[in-house]
Structures are given as C-alpha cells and as structure tokens.
Amino acid sequence: MQDTELFADDELLFTGEEVEERPVKKAKPWRVLVVDDEPDIHTMTQMVLGDYSFEGRKLEFISAFTGEESLNILKKDHEIAVVLLDVVMETSTAGLDVARRIRTFVNNQFVRIILRTGQPGVAPEHKVITELDINDYWQKAELTSQRLTTSITTALRSYRDLRKIEQNRVSLAQLAMSVAHQIRNRTMTITGFANLATRKLDQESDIAKYLETISEESGRLEEVVGSVSDYASIDNCDHQNSEIFPLLEEVIIEIKKFAANLDKNVEFDISLKHAVIDGRPDLFKKAIEELMKNAVIFSDESSPRVELSVQVDSELCQIKVIDNGSGIDDADLPYIYDPFFTKRPEAVGMGLSIVRRVIEGYNWTLDYSKEGRNGAVFTLIIPI
C-alpha cells in the first residue's frame, strides 16, 4: 500500500511539468542602401543577395532612386553598413557626387561604398579610385553574382572592423576621463594639505619652499589632466548647423584675456565673415581657440601680432590663423599634432592634438605653412 502511494506521488512529481521556452533573439541584419535609378537593379540585387549572410546576420535593403534621396537617408540612418551606388542617375556624375558628399557633408567615414556603373567611360576606374574614398568599383556588365557576394563580404568585414576600432576608442576615452577624475581628486588633496602646512611654517623655511614646489607641480599636473579630459571628451562630433560669426567673436574675447594674462600686448588683425558650417559650436570654438592660443604664445616677443581671417565661397569656408613668430622648425613638423609634444617646458602640449581630434571628427582639413620667412600660418578648411 505504501509502495503504491509512493509511486503515485512520484508520478505527480514528474508529470505535467511544462518547460518555459524562451524566444531566441535574432541578430540584427546588416543594413545595405541600394542607390540606382533603375527599379530592376534593386530587384536583381535583392534576389542575388536574398540568402546571403555574414557572421550569422542577413541583409536588410533600403532603396533610393536619386543621389539626393540617398543623402537624405544617410543623414538620418547611421547604421547603414554598405552603399551600392550607381554612377549615372539624375546626372552623369550623380553617384560620384554622392560618394564625395558622404565623406564630407554627411561626414560618414564608416559606411562602405561600392560603385556600380553601366557607362564606364563617364567615370574611368583609375580616376575614381584615386580621387574618391570608395571601397570597390564595378561595371554592371562584369558584376556576377559571385563577385557581388565577394565585394559585399569584404565591405562588411571592413565596416565591422572600423566599428570595433571606434568602440575601442570610445572605451579608451571613457577610461581616460575616469583616470583624469581620480588624479584631479588626488592633486586637489595634495595642494590643499601643502597650503595648510605652508601656513604653519616660517616663509623663509626650506620646508616652506619645498611645499611651494609641491603646490606648483600639482597645479601643472592638473593642467595636464584638464587637457587630457578636454581631448577625451570629444567623443561625438554631432551634425549641427552653426553660424561661425558670433562664435568667432566669443573666441576673440577669450583670446584677448589669454594674451593679457601672459603680459603680451598683442596686436590683433581680425577679418570675419558670416558662414554656416556643419559642426557643434563648442567644438568649433575649441579648435579655433587652441589655434589662436598657439599663435599668441609663439608670436614675436617684442611686437606680437596675430591675424584671424575668414574667406567664404559657395562650397568652402577657409579660416586662417597667422602669427609673426619664428615659425615651426622643419624637424618638428611631423610631431606637432602628437599629444604632449612641446618645446616649452611649462606647457602641456595638447592644444594642436585637440584641434586635430576635432577636424578628424568632422573630416575638415588643416594645413600649415610659413608666412614669408617668419611666422606660422594654420589654414582650416570647412565645407559649407
């Protein structure tokens, strides 16, 4: 009787249980933008690549039939991995214009661009590959299913690697910010206690002089930490329309204060113009401010002079910062944008590194030249 009851209990324990099934999360597909004015090309591309997958992820297709339509999509969708781009659409060079504007005006350095053309004479391969930042170039008549698959695989692998590099850069920047915060807390403590100890000592005491040195070095360390924080905080060069005229006026006010603190009676020659650029106002100001500080510091000691001028045409804004100092030695030119490179013992050497970080984030151009025999000329070129 007892055995029967035990058996019955066992049956109740192990029957009727339902295992909860958890839905398997599907991997996000790779987003591919097909840009072509022929609807049949869109259909054919999706048919050929319909079963394709890379690293367990399928493809999701977005269609655009004109160059302008594709640019509007790319401005809003930052997860597109590959653009399959026709050359001849609303104009004979529409695709080439789109490829150029993706890197400049849209400022997307990650998306991979594969050009396809049915009229190779319009865009010779050597000229296109040399002048444009694209990843592959095919004539439609030569683009077999196998070649298209290979080209897509290469493009996606490149896109994946670039994204990983960017993620690592962001992680490193976050680490730098955390370390800088911790160091700043310690330097403030060191400086605070050094100042307290100094008040309890005779000012002529050797120990008081040592404590003063500790305070000074702590202050310099804080400057280093501040510069590293400024550099690391440039984590996202967002798209934003900015009118540069009032921003430059604000920079000039700050730079005149900076020159006064250095006891340099700088003669400023300012020529500003109105222009709207694609860039965050704070990052634009930071770049110009660092260039202007550099010009003030290295301007002539006896009669310092700094020039800031703006030239604007239909496509480009050109900003020049010129000083009348001795210029940069040719031997130092390869290193001027490196972090902590400086010829001044009291300086940090992060100013031009910060400038480079901003211009690379927005794909602007910065050129250096000499003003006659003396002086440095930095020319910042920004697409309108």
- Alpha-carbon distance of 139 to 118, in angstroms, equals 6
Predicted local confidence at residue 121, as pLDDT: 65
1.10.3210.10, 3.40.50.2000, 1.10.3720.10, 3.30.565.10: CATH of 236-383: 3.30.565.10
How many whole angstroms separate alpha carbon 289 and alpha carbon 273?
17
Our separate counts of H helices and E strands in the chain read 10, 13
Q: Is the pLDDT of residue 7 over 90?
A: no
Average pLDDT over residues 193-197: 86
> What are phi and psi for residue 355, nearest 5 degrees?
-60, -45
- Domain ranges within the chain, ordered by starting residue: 30-143, 166-233, 236-383
Sign (positive/negative) of CA torsion 297, 298, 301, 307? negative
**According to the per-residue pLDDT averaged within each range, which of 68-72, 92-96, 215-219 is highest?**
68-72
What's the confidence (pLDDT) of residue 44?
93
The pLDDT of residue 194: 86
CA 101 to CA 75: how far, in whole Å? 11
Q: What percent of the chain has pLDDT over 90?
A: 48
Mean pLDDT of 33-38: 96
Strand order, beta sheet including 30-35: 53-54, 57-64, 30-35, 80-86, 112-117, 136-139
Listed range (33-47, 222-236, 359-373) with the worst mean pLDDT = 222-236
Instruction: Note the pLDDT tens digit of each residue in 334-364.
Output: 899 988 888 887 788 888 999 999 998 888 9
Residue 366 has pLDDT above 90, yes or no: yes
Alpha carbon distance 117, 137 (integer Å)? 8
**Confidence band of 15 (pLDDT split at 50, 70, 90):** low
The per-residue pLDDT for range 311-321, each reduced to its tens digit, is: 999 888 999 99
Question: Hunting for tokens 């013992």 — which residue is that?
Answer: 345
Is the pLDDT at 17 greater than 60? The verdict is no
For residue 22, the model assigns a pLDDT of 65
- Residue 204 vs residue 372, higher pLDDT: 204
Percent helix / strand / coil, the chain, rounded to 5: 50, 20, 30
Name the amino acid, one letter, at 367: D
pLDDT in tens, 96-129: 999 998 988 788 889 999 999 887 666 677 777 7
Please check the confidence at residue 216 and state whether its pLDDT lies above 80.
yes
- Residue 35's φ and ψ, nearest 5 degrees, are -115, 110
Spatial distance between the Cα atoms of 136 and 229, rounded to a whole number of angstroms: 39
Question: Taking the C-alpha atoms of 177, 178, 183 and 185 in order, what is their torsion angle to the nearest 10 degrees?
Answer: 110
Q: Which of 132-146, 285-299, 335-349 has the lowest mean pLDDT?
A: 335-349
Rounded Cα–Cα distance for residues 383 and 279 (Å): 10
CATH superfamily assigned to domain 30-143 = Response regulator (3.40.50.2300)
Helix (H) or strand (E) holding 188: helix 145-199
- Fill in the amino acid letter for 332: D
pLDDT score of 40 more than 90: yes
CA distance 299 to 301: 6
Give yes or no for residue 25 having a pLDDT over 90. no
* Closest of 88, 90, 82, 42 to residue 66, by C-alpha: 90
Give the pLDDT confidence score for residue 16 in this predicted structure.
Answer: 54
Tokens of 321: 């910062």
Closest Cα partner for 155 from 140, 138, 139, 135?
Answer: 135
Tell me the C-alpha distance between 325 and 312, whole Å: 27
Residue 209: pLDDT band with limits 50, 70, 90: confident
